[in-house]
Amino acid sequence: MNDNHLSELAQDIVRQAQAAGASDAECTIAEGEEFSANVRMREVENLKEAGSRGAGLRILIGRRTGASYTSDLSPEGIAHLVKSAIELADITTEDPHAGLPDPGEFGALPGDLGMYSPEVAELDTAFKIETAKRAEDAALSSDPRISNSEGASFDNHVGRHIFANSRGFAGEYRSSYCSLSTSPVARDGESMERDYWYTLARGFSGLEAPEYVGRMAAKRALRRLHAVKVETQRVPVVFEPRTARSLLDNIFEAVHGMSVYRQESFLAGKLGEKVASDEVTVIDDGTLPGLFGTSPFDDEGVASRRTVVIERGVLKSYLMNTYAARKLGMKTTGNASRGLTGNAGIGHGNFFLEKGVQTPEQIIAGIPNGFYVTELMGFGVNVVTGDYSRGAAGLWIRNGELAFAVSEVTIAGNLNDMLRGIEAIASDLEFRGSVAAPTIKMGEMTVGGK
């Protein structure tokens, strides 16, 4: 379909919904093409290629809501989409806070946000396979103990996102990404360990070199060999950027406007209070060009923005869509997010922890006995209470150096204490996705082992 057609279709769906009785309506259309090539042990394993699209509709009849989606964009499919959403308003409850954003809230960031690189769609299949092979080969060739692999993959995606509502907002943007990853297996005697490395960018030129990806993955798998289980003890814990990022995921869940109004977050009701150590400043910024959490407007048609969530340890703002903001008596922060179906949820832009000044090496050098965490497992974080208990693997810190591999242990604490216990933040902030954190040192946590 040509460029304008889908945008017109979205507006037409909104009009059809109004004609069918909706007092307000909003429509999202997503269209995308995906490609993925997997290689394993230097041979092609899978090639996958396809395109798809779908439309989602949300309607209001007064303060009652209904939602529907379809992958069938034929006139019959659209008619069914509209009827499906309208009929659901019969069973939902009148909700005084339901509705589209207030008139003054609509908007979109101007200019090129670097979300789309046309070269991604042009990449040659043979070249993409070759790139994946180079990454895996670099891992396999790096050390005799790397003799097996779960393979390497090159993926790319280009998409279009279209949004229109009954208040006259209509917008769209294109996005693209490509990624390269490899996952080698290291073996030495009875010990076998796997790890991975990946690189992700809006365009091919932003990717790390395949050889670097392969060598990093191999280095990570090798350093896990001969891991031991340590004694149960309380020690300082250092999260490398990959695991530190998961703590940011936990903070996001805790400042999620829906969890806050329902009182199911340990940060509910703490605005303006000190919730973390002075080192901690957390930002959500949907405006940074070229990054993965960037977009001109959110999924309700509100312009993306920069929100300071925690500033030098003080909780400054929650992240909200229109609904959560109304429940909390605040204003939306432009964080509405949704797939094709249902009411808007809440998502983040680029959600990150501000970097500090020390290098990770300097931080580690100051620790006589501690745990450097490179992998976290499981779902043992309770955002209601802040209770934190997860499976972990990594390296033991002995006299300021990474000494030996550790696995099959847990780390535990409570997020309330953990955020206040952050003693140092390193300077190694990198965006490998929309959530990012540098190396973090936590004062003390319980390591559960023998």
Q: Decide: is 312 part of the binding site for other proteins (CB under 8 A).
A: no
Site for other proteins contains 366 (CB under 8 A): no
Residue 337 within binding range of other proteins, rule CB under 8 A: no
Give the SS3 label for residue 176.
strand
50 binds other proteins (CB under 8 A): yes
Residue 77 binds other proteins, judged by CB under 8 A: yes
Residues 227-246 that bind other proteins (CB under 8 A): 227, 229, 232
Q: Is 87 in the site for other proteins (CB under 8 A)?
A: yes
* Candidate segments 173-181, 202-210, 334-342, 426-434, binder of other proteins by CB under 8 A: 334-342
Q: Check binding of 126 to other proteins (CB under 8 A).
A: no
Q: Does 88 bind other proteins (CB under 8 A)?
A: yes
Q: Tell me the closest approach of the beta carbon of residue 47 to other proteins, in angstroms.
A: 5
By CB under 8 A, tell whether 23 contacts other proteins.
no
If the CB atoms of residues 78 and 283 are measured against other proteins, the closer one turns out to be 78
Of positions 409, 426, 437, 440, contacts other proteins by CB under 8 A? 409
Q: How far is the CB of 429 from other proteins (least distance, A)?
A: 27
Which position among 12, 375, 420, 431 is part of the footprint of other proteins (CB under 8 A)? 375
* Stretch of residues binding other proteins (CB under 8 A), selected from 47-55, 282-290, 394-402, 434-442: 47-55
Q: Which stretch binds other proteins (CB under 8 A): 10-18, 89-97, 328-336, 422-430?
A: 89-97
Touching other proteins, residues 130-159 (CB under 8 A) = 148, 150
Which is nearer to other proteins, 135 or 425 (by Cβ)? 135
200 binds other proteins (CB under 8 A): no
Beta bridge partners of 157: 34, 177
Please select the residue that binds other proteins; options are 342, 362, 404, 430, rule is CB under 8 A. Answer: 342
Residue 218 found at the interface with other proteins (CB under 8 A): no
The one among 23, 84, 246, 359 contacting other proteins by CB under 8 A: 84
Which residue in 80, 174, 242, 306 binds other proteins (CB under 8 A)?
A: 80
